Amino acid sequence: MSKPVIGVIGNSYKIEDRFLMQGAGDKSLRAVADVTGAMPLMFAASAQITDIESLLACVDGIVLTGGRANVHPRFYGEEPTAKHEPFDEERDELALELVRVCVERGIPLLGLCRGFQEMNVAFGGTLHPEIRELPGRMNHRMQRLENGEMHPDPDVLFAERHDVHLTPDGVFAKIFGSDRVFVNSLHGQGIIRRGERVIVEGVAEDETIEAIRIADAPGFALGVQWHAEYNPQTNAVNGALFRAFGEAVHASSKL
């Protein structure tokens, strides 16, 4: 029996500091394969390579993953600084249009971390390059060793670090069966001004926006700032989100 197909956006990176590659994290691919009941299909994060119409003819849903690069501030009307870097403008050009098309056509869409930020920018929202520098905000960046290097243990990097308070009776509260969830945190940037169709349904204890939906979307169109792809097979919160996404994909599948 055939399965629905979920497109998982890649990221560009270099190997040996010379050869440009496109890749998607194993965690993201396995989250789709193991939890949604669909087959993941990675596509290149480049408008020069990936044609949106051809892509959407092949898939039943889209996951916009996280990535090391940030959305370039020119896409929300600001000048770039060193704090905004690094960039991947080819992904920006593809992902921002893809968000709008998926929402318009009711194609299930799930945004994670960078993908969550792309959803906000796609509808006119803005981002701050260093949320931790704002008064009253916590450090949402990944855990590091005393020497500043990334912590070597993924289970430490992706450990739950703060609560997210959800809108009572909102979409997310219904998915999770609770008005509060405990999540991981590995981001520097964050939403400052929400897009005109962006509805905030979850905030961290420091008021950083963590969960959004797109108003009047005819299909599933949700984004979270945390990395929900990390162990949804065993993590109750992340698993519930991927299962809900999978149900929407199956319900709207072309099969």
Which residues form the catalytic set? 113, 227, 229
How far is residue 240's CA from residue 125's CA, in Å, rounded to a whole number? 27
DSSP state of 143: P
Tokens coding 72 = 């370039």
- Residue listed under structure tokens 């959800």: 166
Cis status of the peptide bond prior to 86, with omega within 30 of 0: yes
